[in-house]
Every structure is written in C-alpha cells, then in structure tokens.
C-alpha cells in the first residue's frame, strides 16, 4: 500500500531512509484524529445550536459564552489550556475519590481538545443552517403529529444539511490541518513523524514537503466525498425546481 503512495508521489523507498512505515502510521493517526474530532465537534455543534436557538436563557447564555470564548482565543492556547486542565481535573478527582493516578493519553486528549474547540464553529454553522429551514415546514410536520425528534430527523436535518455542507466542508479542512498542533502534546501524527524523520536525516525540508503532499492527497479525497454528499442532499431541491 505504501509503495503505491510512493509511486504517486514519485519517490522511492530508499529516499525515505526507512521512515516510510512511520510516515504511513503518522498519516493514519492524523486521519483517525481528524474523523473522531469531526464527529465530536459536530455533536457539540448540534447541541450548541439547539441551545442558542432555545427560548430559555439558561441554555442560550452558556452556549453564547462558549462560542464567544472559543472563537476569540487562538487554537494553540486553547489546546494547551484544555490539555493540561483536563489532566489536572482528572488528577484532583481521582485524589478526592482515593483512586490511583490516571493519565489521559495524547490521542484522547487530542480528540477532546479538537472536538471542544471546533464544536463552537459547528455551533454557528448548524445554527445558521437551521434558521434557513422555512418555519412552515416545521408547522406542517407538527400538524401531521410528528414528535420533536421526528421533525428534526425527517424535516429539519435533510434541509439543514443542504445549507450546512459548505460550512461543514470548511470546518473539516480546518480540523484536518489543525491536527498538526497536537504534535506539541506528544502525539505521533504525520507532522511529528515528518519532523523527527527530518531531524534524524538532516533533511527536514524534504520530509515536511512529503507531509504536505500527503495532506493534499487526504484533502483531495475529502473534497470528492463532500461533493458526493452535496449532490445527495441537493437532489430534492433540483426536483422541486423542475
């Protein structure tokens, strides 16, 4: 599998000086981190959007504070704050309960941190998309006797996704590139492996270029998936225009 990737990039196994398998593992780590962070941030975004659209100030105000704080502080600062605060909080909790020391691994910390940060951006993406759904659609669904959950699944969500997909695509691309920041907390992602390989072989520029090309391949595959999703969710609107 890796040999095929090398052929696409026009490289040879010798030119990687034995770091090929490690680069592949780093790329896989980056993809796993990105996908899980996307799922968590999308979940937080849906919750945050519903809170911000709520009539209750008890739900609306914390959601507003969440999005304002997250979007106003640099991602790197937030990552360090969340990473170390999570460990300190867990240590305090285990000490209070008389349990042994539990350490949060870098991968879990990275997913939680990335998901928490970009959940704020998904909140605004989903909020705008939900507001774009005509109110009459909800009123018609209510008249048919649908529950709130059924209205969301069968009426709001398909129409919301049609509007939200461009924002989701942008957020995904940002998450994919932002995974490079997790190398500062010790996770062996693609950037971390490329840096280590470059320092070991004194060819840092070469391995960073290679990492950039792998990111480009992942982004290109992501664009294809996003186009397919856009076609799927736009099918109803095209039929309505005929």
- Give the closest residue to 82 by CA, choosing from 25, 37, 31, 26: 37
* pLDDT of amino acid 35: 94
Burial class (CB in 10 A: 0-12, 13-18, 19+), 68: exposed
pTM of the model: 0.82
Largest distance between two CA atoms of the chain: 69
Cβ-proximal residues to 209 (8 Å cutoff; 6+ apart), any chain: none
Task: Go through the domains of the chain in sequence order and give each one's CATH number.
Answer: 25-236 (1.10.3720.10)
* pLDDT of amino acid 237: 62
* pLDDT of amino acid 200: 82
How much is the CA Rg of the chain, to the nearest whole Å?
22
Residues 198, 201, 206, 211, CA torsion sign: negative
pLDDT digit of tens for each residue in the chain (242 aa)?
A: 545 555 554 554 446 667 778 888 888 989 999 999 999 999 999 999 999 988 888 999 999 999 998 888 888 888 788 777 777 887 888 888 888 777 777 788 888 888 989 999 999 999 999 888 888 877 888 888 888 888 888 888 888 888 899 899 999 999 998 888 887 777 778 888 888 888 888 888 888 888 888 999 999 999 999 888 888 877 666 544 44
* pLDDT of amino acid 31: 92
Cβ-proximal residues to 184 (8 Å cutoff; 6+ apart), any chain: 76, 79, 80
Cβ-proximal residues to 232 (8 Å cutoff; 6+ apart), any chain: none
* pLDDT of amino acid 4: 57
* pLDDT of amino acid 142: 81
Burial class (CB in 10 A: 0-12, 13-18, 19+), 242: exposed
- Give the closest residue to 1 by CA, choosing from 34, 25, 17, 31: 25
């Amino acid at each position: 599998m890796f040999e095929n990737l090398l052929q696409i990039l026009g490289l040879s196994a010798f030119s990687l000086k034995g770091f090929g398998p490690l680069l592949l593992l780093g790329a896989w780590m980056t993809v796993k981190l990105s996908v899980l962070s996307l799922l968590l941030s999308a979940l937080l975004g849906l919750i945050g959007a519903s809170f911000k659209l709520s009539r209750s100030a008890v739900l609306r105000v914390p959601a507003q504070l969440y999005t304002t704080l997250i979007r106003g502080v640099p991602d790197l600062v937030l990552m360090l704050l969340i990473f170390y605060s999570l460990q300190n909080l867990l240590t305090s909790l285990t000490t209070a309960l008389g349990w042994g020391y539990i350490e949060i691994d870098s991968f879990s910390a990275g997913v939680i941190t990335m998901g928490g940060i970009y959940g704020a951006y998904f909140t605004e993406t989903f909020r705008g998309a939900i507001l774009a759904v005509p109110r009459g659609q909800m009123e018609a669904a209510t008249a048919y006797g649908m529950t709130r959950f059924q209205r969301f699944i069968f009426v709001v969500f398909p129409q919301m996704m049609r509007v939200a997909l461009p924002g989701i695509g942008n957020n995904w691309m940002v998450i994919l590139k932002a995974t490079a920041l997790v190398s500062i907390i010790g996770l062996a992602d693609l950037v971390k492996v490329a840096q280590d390989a470059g320092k070991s072989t004194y060819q840092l520029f070469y391995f960073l270029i290679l990492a950039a090309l792998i990111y480009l391949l992942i982004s290109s595959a992501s664009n294809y998936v996003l186009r397919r999703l856009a076609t799927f969710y736009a099918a109803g609107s095209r039929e309505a225009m005929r």
